[in-house]
Amino acid sequence: MIPHPIPLAPHGIFVTGTDTGVGKTLVATALLRAFARSGLRAVGMKPVATGCRTDAPDRANEDVAALIDASSVRAPIDLINPYCFAPPIAPHLAAQQAGISTSLARIQESYLSLARLADRVVMEGAGGLLVPLNRDEDFGDLVRLLDFSVVLVVGMRLGCLNHALLTAEAIRSRDLPFVGWVANRIDPAMPFFEDNLAFLKQKLPAPLIAVMPFAPDSARACSAIRLDLLAARHP
């Protein structure tokens, strides 16, 4: 059973993706820099990281290191990344190998500590919204518990329409606030890119807040983000 949700100011953003390797870290760091540019204190969080080392200041993990670098607030690594596992495998399997069960309550405690330090917490998931965290709970359960708003990263390549619509359906079925999506051009040679983009703009029930060019640097990625287009949360 997950803990009961507690009332929180809606200042958490959860970045999920249509798959792994679609640019969640790129978008999460761009959001962090955009929030900082707008005058807000922003800190990144990666609740579960795999393929890393607990003895390294940045967990020797590219995602965690990038989030730390993009944050305008300094925070203890154990708050930014409560769970760190060495095997580069699915989070729940890595936890099983370590002989533990990932606890949503522990992640919640870390988030609350970060929320006291910052105006915005940008949390990056692993894989997609329904990736399991333990035997009974997934990232969708975590988002609901923490009352986060969801930003979806769509990796623009063949197959992305189905992946994007399925993820949007999962967000809707969990009754989570879907406040925006990003089209990330991970395949520069994708046929009919503009047609696919137009289809998703019509079908996804959240505003398009950025179109990321292929392999942008951090400055271009930050400039692409339109915070003003983030949708208002539903009650």
> Strands 12-17 and 83-85: what pairing?
unpaired
Which among 24, 46, 201, 203 is annotated as catalytic?
46
Residue 51: is its pLDDT beyond 80?
yes
Is 203 part of the annotated catalytic residue set?
Answer: no
Sign of the C-alpha dihedral computed for residues 66, 71, 73 and 78 taken in this order: negative
The average confidence (pLDDT) of the chain is: 92
Residue 140: is its pLDDT beyond 90?
yes
Domains and CATH numbers, the chain: 12-229 (3.40.50.300)
Lowest mean pLDDT among 41-50, 163-172, 226-235: 226-235
What CA–CA distance (Å, rounded) separates 179 from 181?
A: 7
